Structure 1
Amino acid sequence: MTTPAINYQYLTEKIKFWGQELGFSQVGISDVDLSEHEAALTSWLENNYHGNMDYMARHGLMRARAKELVEGTLNVISVRMDYLPTDAKFARILKNRDHAYISRYALGRDYHKLMRKRLKQLGEKIKAHCENINYRPFVDSAPILERPLAEKAGLGWVGKHSLLINKQAGSWFFLGELLVDIPLITDTKAENNCGTCVACIKICPTQAIVEPYVVDARRCISYLTIELREAIPEEFRPLIGNRIYGCDDCQLICPWNKFAKLGSEDDFKPRQNLDNIELLTLFAWDEATFLNKTEGSPIRRIGFQSWQRNIAVALGNADFSENNVSALTAKLPKAEAMVAEHIEWAIAQQTLKQQALVKDQNLRLTARLIRSVEKGMPRDA
């Protein structure tokens, strides 16, 4: 019996329908040709902008060659999933220096497993319709240029901060890919709408966006607080502020995020009050508490030492407080060398702020005394 021919136009439409049924905010399809990005990727690696992320260099140009990653790949199904929480306390927390700022994507459950499971379910739906198919789902788990692929799939354009921006939904979303070996109908590449705007470049606390569309990871707060496992260079510590896990500044300033959509997944909603919690509360956690409180969270992967390191830096940047100094001092004797270095730095910063505070108080007192004396002097004196 002859197998009926597959209508790939119909299948493409069904894939997008199934994707939305599974909770994806948008589904797009592209081919695998990213050759136009190879020169930029090579230059980025040669400039060591990947920092200590050795896996970036190890896979090299494979990131632009999906066919080398999974043999036989013809198309990539790219998906996005919105995650912006309701009542996001962005500015309020950044200004409240005794509270911890955690990147919005990390407030809830780890998105990797959730999205990969849904992508696998999408693959199975396709397989039920089209038996002769091989597929592989990826969510930040493969050496692949996911943003250029998503751009080709029409999900948005790569902005000057290197993140994907959607005209109707901003940039608060996760990306995932399903590599398939069937000839689907591809979408039209999204048009770049950044124009002359450079807001993300100007606002970056550490000037990590060294030129439009190029990020030096070694300067990026997300890299410094998440990827880096060593000491944070001192030049960047004061610039980190109270950001203890990641940074959202380039997204917060982006004018397209006025169109951002709220996430509908309960798993992405803030957990453990992490969207409004004091630094001292987090610094008081021991390792067992850290592991318990961050179970199922992307935060857990940085480990307890980096967690303490980051909070110590934030406490050093906080306004002077005897409680801050006491907490830092109490942790110091048992801290590992890398963490201890940051605690000592933080204590020194708090000491400088205390001295500045005393100096300011003395100047104010002196000024009041002078005014008091002047008021008591005869007018013709």
Structure 2
Amino acid sequence: MGICRPDANPHLPDLLDQYVAKGRHGQMAWMQERMQWRADPAALWPDAKSVIMLAEVYTPDHDPLAILQRPDRGAISVYAGQKDYHDIVKKRLKRVGRWLIEQDPEAQIKVFVDTAPVMEKPLGASAGLGWQGKHTNLLGRDLGSWFFLGAIFTTLELPIDEPGQEQCGSCTACLDICPTKAFPAPFQLDARRCISYLTIEHKGPVDLELRPALGNRIYGCDDCLAVCPWNKFAQTASEARYKTRDELRAPRLAELAALDDPSFRTMFSGSPVKRVGRDRFVRNVLYAIGNSADASLIETARDLTRDADETVADAARWAVAQLELL
């Protein structure tokens, strides 16, 4: 944990303005609609005097990149392989918040975990949890790359911590590994080319030029996190509910493509994956099938060329065309 002031990052409004002006937020209209609050935590809750930033590790017990060598299987981001972290982290934030109020009944608090216009990463860096790396994610000497962030805003005026100092040096591993070249420059991200954005936030068909680079990544992408050298110092995750479910470590694409809406909801009940819905998920699975170079999957794709959802049908036609080239 670490503590900072709500106004610890006065440069954020300008940076966010530039980001949105360049269109790098893609379809994430909510980023533009709440820019004032997102750029200035003090505007979100003017009474707040301190922000307590907490990190909880979910370090995987397996190599997240290994699944990329199994093209008939789907790669699901580590954080989404089990229970939805929003629920777990928020309950823990509330527990800490209740403890704070017990210490000082005059205190007021608000808790946030990726569910409000709060820029957690800059706040985490200002609170000394780490620094934003060249991939723009937060990382730390003792935490590595694999951790969730939660924030407690409070009216208490608490002693603040020293901000984290950038320690990436000359390393460019995270930039070099990105399949879609989503980093225009170090410390800059164009979400429109980011696989996490494309497979989760982006609605409708993915641009033809980007589909081959998706590989078999069907929900999120861990590449830039997984290659970070600081992970060798990462703490081990102690929360069993963050352990990847066995059936989601290397699910077969053929089985995932066959999911209808009820079976999708059942399979991903309690998982962040459920948020994207069956159609967008199966769209991603079909892109992976098209990239699989596995001719045995062509009938699976062909069955979906008449899907009720046109984006799914388009992805199926693309997959069939790719496999017919073999």
Q: Same fold (TM over 0.5)?
A: yes
Question: Deviation string for 1:318-360 (max 9, x for gaps)?
Answer: 02323x011111222234111100100000000012xxxxxxx
Question: Deviation string for 1:101-143 (max 9, x for gaps)?
Answer: 0111111100001111111111111101101111110000111
Q: CA deviation at 1:271?
A: 2.0
Query: Contact between 1:272 and 1:293, CA under 8 Å: does it hold in 2?
Result: no
- Asked whether 1:328 is paired with 2:307, we answer no
Alignment map for 1:5-24 (pairs within 5 Å): none
- Asked whether 1:74 is paired with 2:38, we answer no
Q: CA deviation at 1:272?
A: 5.2
Q: CA deviation at 1:37?
A: 2.3
Q: CA deviation at 1:90?
A: 2.1
Which structure has more helix as a fraction of its residues? 1
Question: Deviation string for 1:296-327 (max 9, x for gaps)?
Answer: 100000000001100000000002323x0111
Which of 327, 335, 346 lines up with 2:319 in the alignment? Answer: 346
Partner of 1:138: 112
SS in 2 for 1:244: strand
Q: CA deviation at 1:64?
A: 2.5
Query: Contact between 2:200 and 2:276, CA under 8 Å: does it hold in 1?
Result: yes
Question: Deviation string for 1:257-293 (max 9, x for gaps)?
Answer: 1222221111111125101221112112221111011
Cα distance in structure 2, aligned partners of 1:31 and 1:190? 14
Partner of 1:287: 261
Alignment map for 1:353-364 (pairs within 5 Å): 353=326
Alignment map for 1:22-61 (pairs within 5 Å): 27-33=1-7, 34-61=9-36
| CA root-mean-square deviation | 1.1
Cα distance in structure 2, aligned partners of 1:71 and 1:117? 24
Runs of 4+ with deviation above 3 angstroms:
none
Q: Which amino acid in 1 is paired with 2:304?
A: K
- Asked whether 1:237 is paired with 2:207, we answer no
Q: Which amino acid in 1 is paired with 2:100?
A: I
Q: CA deviation at 1:67?
A: 1.6
The TM-score with structure 1 as length reference comes to 0.83
Q: Choose 1 or 2 for highest CA Rg.
A: 1
Q: Report the more deviating stretch, 113-122 or 36-45.
A: 36-45
Query: Contact between 1:84 and 1:173, CA under 8 Å: does it hold in 2?
Result: yes
Cα distance in structure 2, aligned partners of 1:335 and 1:291? 18
Residues paired across the two proteins, number = 325
Cα distance in structure 2, aligned partners of 1:341 and 1:208? 24
Query: Contact between 2:36 and 2:43, CA under 8 Å: does it hold in 1?
Result: no
Unaligned runs of 5+ in 1: 1-26, 354-381
Partner of 1:207: 181
Question: Deviation string for 1:183-239 (max 9, x for gaps)?
Answer: 001000011101121221111111101111110000000000000111111110000
Q: Which amino acid in 1 is paired with 2:316?
A: I
Query: Contact between 2:13 and 2:40, CA under 8 Å: does it hold in 1?
Result: no
